[in-house]
Amino acid sequence: MTAQHSAHHSGHSFGIDVGGSGIKGAEVDLATGEFVGDRLKIATPQPATPEAVAEVVAQIVAEKGWDGPVGITMPSVVKDQVILSAANIDKSWIGVDAQELFNQHLDVPFTVLNDADAAGLAEVAYGDEIARTGSVLFLTLGTGIGSALLLNGQLFPNTELGHLTVDKKEAEKQASSAVKDREELKTKQWAKRVNRVLHEYEALLNPSAFVIGGGISRKFDKWGEYLDIDTSVVPAQLRNRAGIVGAAMAAKEGVRP
């Protein structure tokens, strides 16, 4: 064993975020929520079948020389470690027992959870005070729209609000950041759609705040001004890091939503 591949640091963990376009992993310092070393990103195999994805997950762990527990996020409903939905990944994931699958590829303990749930928990732990106070709807705007419903930092898992019908169409099919790119929407046009969706969530849940994550939250100052809802809306602090950090937290704590 080289020094680099020595036993894992007890205060560190490892998170892997499985997304529609990339599978990303990093070691995380749980004291700070910061990455230790570089994040490794490998393009999601197409089709993103369970076998193909599990191989990449194992490859990331191996390349990073990590030998401790691992957290893995999926863009899916994950109940009792079984994948129950596949909106933006290969449909063959539905019904897959994630413990069985990853067991065949990893020789370290692991936990699988929904990507937005993981990101929401990371925001609670390392983000703004607002994320852990009261009733919060955390959303990730990316390939789809992910949601994490939080009450004083406690998670109600697998809410899947990106699939709520708003004006006869699924929210994520009109207001995700992938739709903005695909339809080449102007920032203002797209922000108006997000605004419409947030109004719907507001009417249903009346949260104390919305926290918005995903890559596009970085540019919140460019589009936040087009929102006109009463509930406060704040950009997430961890941005793209949240999924991996939340996964790493879950690995460490053995959280199994």
Which residues make up the interface to ligand BGC (CB under 6 A)?
Answer: 75-77, 85, 87-88, 114-116, 140, 142-144, 146, 160, 162, 172
| CA neighbor of 115 nearest in space, from 137, 144, 93, 95 | 144
**Minimum CB distance to ligand BGC smaller for 44 or for 76:** 76
**Minimum CB distance to ligand BGC smaller for 48 or for 77:** 77
Q: Is 254 exposed, middle or buried (0-12, 13-18, 19+ CB in 10 A)?
A: exposed
Q: Minimum CB separation from ligand BGC for residue 229, in Å?
A: 21
Q: Minimum CB separation from ligand BGC for residue 111, in Å?
A: 16
Buried b (16+ CB within 10 A) or exposed e, 28-67: bebeebebbeebbeeebeeebbbebbbbbbbebbeebebb
**Minimum CB distance to ligand BGC smaller for 140 or for 237:** 140
**Minimum CB distance to ligand BGC smaller for 29 or for 90:** 90
> Which residues are CB-neighbours of 18 under 8 A, at least 6 positions away?
44, 53, 57, 72, 73, 74, 75, 89, 115
Q: Which residue is nearest to ligand BGC (CB)?
A: 144
Q: Minimum CB separation from ligand BGC for residue 147, in Å?
A: 7
Q: Minimum CB separation from ligand BGC for residue 125, in Å?
A: 18
